[in-house]
């Protein structure tokens, strides 16, 4: 029976109504999976890709990299089945809702149903299935969903373009969009790795007083100082949450997770500031998170606002460079946590941070190093924003190019 529903966004030359079809009609055959006994060595490290739910990435339906492979013997001796390439693997149990278009022969764990010998375009089917399942999962958010049965999956309905050409164009559109997102992700990863490499080489290694890579024109030894001797620092406080007059004002209230943000969730009033230990920090102040899950995180305040007791504000007092000190603290985060937090438990403190020893070059070299990493951070942030925009674009198209 024809249904007049059409997507909100459509390639211009197509005007036919989409047809409602069951997922079970997408393919000639559906196959399940199984897990060969892990205790039998002859079943593993073979040539057949064996995928499990954790191999599939959310929001990505291609490029699955299996962590494990099985042998032909494992296929004979278990419920695992050899599934032809260009099939669609759908997670129906642990990790329900993930979907992958497979470009190789494969087998799966029992958490999957695979659609094989497709009667619809594989990429359209993959993305439409993903959109359908994710939409249903969002509609019951907060409910524990342990999985769906094979029959429940195959009985679900999806609207499909009548013409294979339209299916193909939609599928290719999203495939290309995913390829662009993957490229940006790889570029971002490379940039972050590049920065880590420079951090290791442009700051002295333990026991040394000069870095491996030096700013041209500088060759003096770096000097050792205590953070507390070259900076002033203070933490803040939290206005009583029981007093409504203290909240809803115009003063941004910066908490640990917001030290790198341009906005805050909470705002306090002048009265809240006066009647608590909260303190104002200016834009450009180093903010160091001391408590909880964010311990050791560091940022430079992008706004003027008030801080709570979980944040230490740090300001140079002898002409040292803010960006240089910030990058040093960022580079040494893991060492600081390892040295002062037992198994990641506990809190840092202002006194601990003040006693940290830092090696400093002259002010001019600090400035050049600080600016170099600042520009690198800005490039990384720009790539992060572009990547997030691409993901949001894909999300919007998924909602508007399918019925």
Residues 312 and 306: beta-carbon distance below 8 Å: no
pLDDT at 58: 81
pLDDT at 343: 61
Same-domain pairing of 186 and 123: no
Q: Which two tokens mark 366?
A: 């600090």
Categorize the per-residue pLDDT at 203 as very low, low, confident or very high, splitting at 50, 70 and 90: very high
Same-domain pairing of 379 and 394: yes
Mean pLDDT of 335-362: 88
pLDDT at 38: 95
Burial 113-134 (b: 16+ CB within 10 A, else e): bbbbebebbbbbbbbbbbbbbb
Q: Which of 117, 134, 160 is the last residue of a domain?
A: 160
pLDDT at 347: 85
pLDDT at 2: 44
pLDDT at 292: 83
Same-domain pairing of 195 and 268: no
Instruction: Give start and end residues of each alpha helix (H) in 84-243.
Output: 122-139, 150-155, 164-202, 227-230
pLDDT at 134: 87
Same-domain pairing of 298 and 323: yes
Q: Is residue 119's pLDDT more than 60?
A: yes
Return the minimum-mean-pLDDT range out of 72-81, 146-155, 244-253, 340-349: 340-349
Same-domain pairing of 4 and 88: no
Q: Is residue 220's pLDDT more than 50?
A: yes
Number of domains in the chain: 3
pLDDT at 144: 53
pLDDT at 145: 59
Higher pLDDT, 359 or 341: 359
Mean pLDDT of 163-179: 96
Give pLDDT tens digits for 1-49: 444 588 999 998 899 999 999 999 999 999 999 999 999 999 999 999 9
Q: Is residue 344's pLDDT more than 70?
A: no
Categorize the per-residue pLDDT at 64 as very low, low, confident or very high, splitting at 50, 70 and 90: very high
Q: Which of 143, 160, 177 is the last residue of a domain?
A: 160
Categorize the per-residue pLDDT at 178 as very low, low, confident or very high, splitting at 50, 70 and 90: very high
Same-domain pairing of 302 and 228: yes
Q: Is residue 299's pLDDT more than 70?
A: yes
pLDDT at 172: 96
Q: Which two tokens mark 33?
A: 């999976």
Same-domain pairing of 61 and 112: yes
Same-domain pairing of 27 and 151: yes
Q: Is residue 143's pLDDT more than 90?
A: no
Residue with tokens 């005007």: 15
Categorize the per-residue pLDDT at 89 as very low, low, confident or very high, splitting at 50, 70 and 90: very high
Task: Give the residue numbers spanning the domain of 250.
Answer: 223-360
- CATH number, position 397: 1.10.287.1120
Same-domain pairing of 251 and 297: yes
- CATH number, position 352: 3.90.220.20
pLDDT at 312: 98
Same-domain pairing of 228 and 123: no
Q: Is residue 139's pLDDT more than 90?
A: no
Q: How many C-beta atoms surround the C-beta of residue 164 within 10 A?
A: 13
Same-domain pairing of 83 and 183: no
Rounded Cα distance, 311 and 315, in Å? 13
Burial 21-57 (b: 16+ CB within 10 A, else e): eebeebbeebbbbbbbeeeeeebbebebbbbbbebbe
pLDDT at 3: 45
Q: Give the N- to C-terminal CA distance of the chain in Å, as an integer.
A: 16
Same-domain pairing of 184 and 156: no
- Percentage of residues in the chain with pLDDT exceeding 70? 96
**Four-residue CA torsion sign, 252, 254, 259, 260:** negative
């Amino acid at each position: 029976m024809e249904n007049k529903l059409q997507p909100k966004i459509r390639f211009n030359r197509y005007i036919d109504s989409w047809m409602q079809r069951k997922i079970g009609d997408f393919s000639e055959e559906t196959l399940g999976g199984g897990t060969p006994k892990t205790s039998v060595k002859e079943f593993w490290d073979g040539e057949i890709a064996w995928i499990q739910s954790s191999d599939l990435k959310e929001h990505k339906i291609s490029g699955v990299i299996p962590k494990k492979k099985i042998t032909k013997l494992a296929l004979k001796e278990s419920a695992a089945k050899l599934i032809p390439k260009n099939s669609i693997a759908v997670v129906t149990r642990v990790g329900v809702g993930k979907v992958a278009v497979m470009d190789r022969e494969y087998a799966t764990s029992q958490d999957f149903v695979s659609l094989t010998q497709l009667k619809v375009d594989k990429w359209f089917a993959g993305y439409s299935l993903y959109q359908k399942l994710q939409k249903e999962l969002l509609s019951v958010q907060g409910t524990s969903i342990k999985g769906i049965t094979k029959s429940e999956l195959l009985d679900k309905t999806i609207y499909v373009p009548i013409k294979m050409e339209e299916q193909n164009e939609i599928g290719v559109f999203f495939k290309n969009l995913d390829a662009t997102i993957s490229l940006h992700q790889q570029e971002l990863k490379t940039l972050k790795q590049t920065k880590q490499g420079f951090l290791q080489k442009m700051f002295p290694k333990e026991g040394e007083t000069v870095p491996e890579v030096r700013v041209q024109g500088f060759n003096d030894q770096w000097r050792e100082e205590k953070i507390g001797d070259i900076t002033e620092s203070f933490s803040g406080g939290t206005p009583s949450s029981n007093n409504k007059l203290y909240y809803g004002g115009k003063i941004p209230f910066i908490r640990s997770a917001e030290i790198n943000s341009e906005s805050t969730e909470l705002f306090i009033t002048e009265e809240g500031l006066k009647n608590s230990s909260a303190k104002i920090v200016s834009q450009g102040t180093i903010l160091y998170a001391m408590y909880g899950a964010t311990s050791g995180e560091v940022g430079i305040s992008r706004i003027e606002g008030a801080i709570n007791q979980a944040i230490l504000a740090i300001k140079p007092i002898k002409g040292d460079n803010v960006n240089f000190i910030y990058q040093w603290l960022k580079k040494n985060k893991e060492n600081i946590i390892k040295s002062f937090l037992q198994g990641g438990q506990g809190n840092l403190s202002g006194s601990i941070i003040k006693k940290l020893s830092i090696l400093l070059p002259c002010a001019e070299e600090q400035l050049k190093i600080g600016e170099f990493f600042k520009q690198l951070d800005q490039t990384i942030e720009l790539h992060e924003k572009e990547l997030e925009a691409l993901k949001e674009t894909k999300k919007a198209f998924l909602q508007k190019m399918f019925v």
